[in-house]
Chain A
């Protein structure tokens, strides 16, 4: 089997830099990390110097994702040898137990970390993920709420909580979590769009208006967010089709929907540029939009 460096013709420095980039961007491309990282560890361990420890950690987590227990075990052993008694390494040991589905042992491991250091957020979050893995979503939600009462600033946790609430169809609370995220990251168009989708799902005239506004905001932040564009179209047309609105509101919403339609058409034209498959998609989109118009007016 060809090694990564042979296949792509890269040096070990480039591989190391790629791993660092993935680490900083928090990518979860575990298979690639395992491929690149394993080769780095096996062939070039001496050249890496002190970088090797963080690469061990990165590769270990990726190996757990890919069910490569052997690789995970080696990485863990090396880390245990170098950093005995470290809480970060204990957490990794707990994660390995989780991967082997030994949830009781993993839970005990995290409890011992928390005894030493009650402010350790990583251990708490792992305990919550154990609950999630076991399918106990109600308990997971409760624990996560308690966690967030202590650590209000943890954005990862807010996002996780919003996802759990969406799974439970509790859209009001999910919207609350997403509001927290929108406040702390006002320029992130994805949070705006997700919030708008939750509001749209909740339904009701007020929520539809809010969702239309937030779809527009997401588009303003990122002109290329197609999902927000479609969302804008759908929320505007829904409001216009609703019997409870007065004439001016209906007119402005029809205007919004028409604008959105134009933009969608433009996008599909740009994507198409004459290739055969895209001609069919362009036609399909046009038909879809026309049918929506008909049901509306």
Chain B
């Protein structure tokens, strides 16, 4: 079935070669956390599940929206995505903790528990980002 029109509206999944982001302080490779730098490390994922987990939500959404388009017509995914886009804007600045309540309710995440809710809770993250840099990254100025 034809999903080409829909693909232009959905973000692309992170490709295999998009793994290299291990930049530590002062722009040098963070050897303690990611080991000695090699081209292979930056190009390929280190764990079998790393790529699949990074793209999981995106791929699920793509699949669900294309199914919905095939069953109900273009309006169904368009309306849903519009609602998601609106709900995604209800959040605080990037370095603060936002609850994403509206987005979670729309997506149905408030009625299920998975590893995303238990492991690596962002509210208990040990690394705090520099507010100005995070804002610049979010606005695309960096």
A and B held together in a complex: no
- B residues apposed to A, CB below 8 Å: none
Interface residues of A (CB under 8 A from B): none
